[in-house]
Amino acid sequence: MLSYKSIDELCRKATEEKKKISEIVLSDEALQMEQSEDELFSRMAENFKIMCEAVNAGKQPDLRSASGLTGGDAAKMEKYSQTGGLCGSFLNLAIMRAIAVSEYNAAMGKIVAAPTAGSCGILPACIISMLDAGKCDKKQAIMSLFTAGAFGMVIAQNASVAGAEGGCQAECGSASAMAAAVLVELYGGTPVQSAHACAMAIKNQLGLVCDPVAGLVEIPCIKRNVSGTMIAFSSAEMALAGIESKIPADECIIAMKQVGASLPCSLRETSNGGLAITPTGIKLKEQVFGSK
């Protein structure tokens, strides 16, 4: 059975058995949990359904968070995507989906923590965009969540996925790394290429701090879901092109843990540093909670 202690283990197992990482993870989980693969797939399908529903609900133009600080931006992005923009409609719709799920979370909507609520928009944005563009089918989209889960388990065991422990690199950074690995698999890449994509996504977010304005998972969290989505796509593209990370994924994860431990408490979800204590950040906090 898999220990989920290293990305290398996942890649070696999948390569040896000539299977996708998602396939070996589903088989292993069925064995460990003493349930059928069909049962586990059905449960994962429900998670994917919630992700899709969150996108649809989150892009409504009248959506607003309880604080009133965020909402409605996904609708703006969807309208803008019709122009093609700088990145084309595919990536602009991915941006829209990342915002939509994150805004829906801020409005107390039902989401899938993937791996956390603060980073909930990245995986849905990547996977649903691939499905919507016809780059995978629904079964492949659902199966890819097993790959994401396995990479997330390794990161959680060897570093952290909590902003309070490791900064936003642990939340959006981890989600982006998971999504990058998934995108490679969905596009037909190898397990080793998934590992390289994971490593490159982590490298590009090392040191990312967690500094939520007013202590709410809204500013700058929502827009960091967008950047995490874009990093996932760029990392996957590089890996699929044959570009390798010189630092292995497992070593990147350890580095992320060390960097997170080095961050001061003010930059680990306490709202005592970074953007949270800018003049505007303080005004927004007072707007929500009052001057006291």
- pLDDT in tens for each of the 292 residues of the chain? 899 999 999 999 999 999 999 999 999 999 999 999 999 999 999 999 999 999 999 999 999 999 999 999 999 999 999 999 999 999 999 999 999 999 999 999 999 999 999 999 999 999 999 999 999 999 999 999 999 999 999 999 999 999 999 999 999 999 999 999 999 999 999 999 999 999 999 999 999 999 999 999 999 999 999 999 999 999 999 999 999 999 999 999 999 999 999 999 999 999 999 999 999 999 999 999 998 6
d(C-alpha 96, C-alpha 111), whole Å: 16
The full 3-state SS of 137-177, as one line of letters, equals CHHHHHHHHHHHHHHHHHHHHHCCCCHHHHCHHHHHHHHHH
Q: Which residues on adjacent β-strands are paired with residue 210?
A: 268
**258 CB neighbour count, 10 Å cutoff:** 12
107 HSE (CA, 13 A, CB side): 24
Secondary structure element (H or E) that encloses residue 123, with its range: helix 122-132
Closest CA to 258 of 180, 184, 170: 170
Can you tell me which residue has the tokens 């990161």?
155
DSSP letters for 197-209? HHHHHHHTTTT--
d(C-alpha 17, C-alpha 231), whole Å: 30
Fill in the DSSP letter of residue 266: G
Can you tell me which residue has the tokens 């003010």?
266
Fill in the DSSP letter of residue 135: S
SS3 (DSSP) at 4: coil
Domains along the chain? 7-289 (1.10.4100)
Task: Answer for the pair 205, 228: CB distance below 8 angstroms, yes or no.
Answer: yes
d(C-alpha 26, C-alpha 146), whole Å: 7
Amino acid at 94: A
Task: Give the pLDDT score at 291.
Answer: 82
Q: Which residues on adjacent β-strands are paired with residue 268?
A: 210
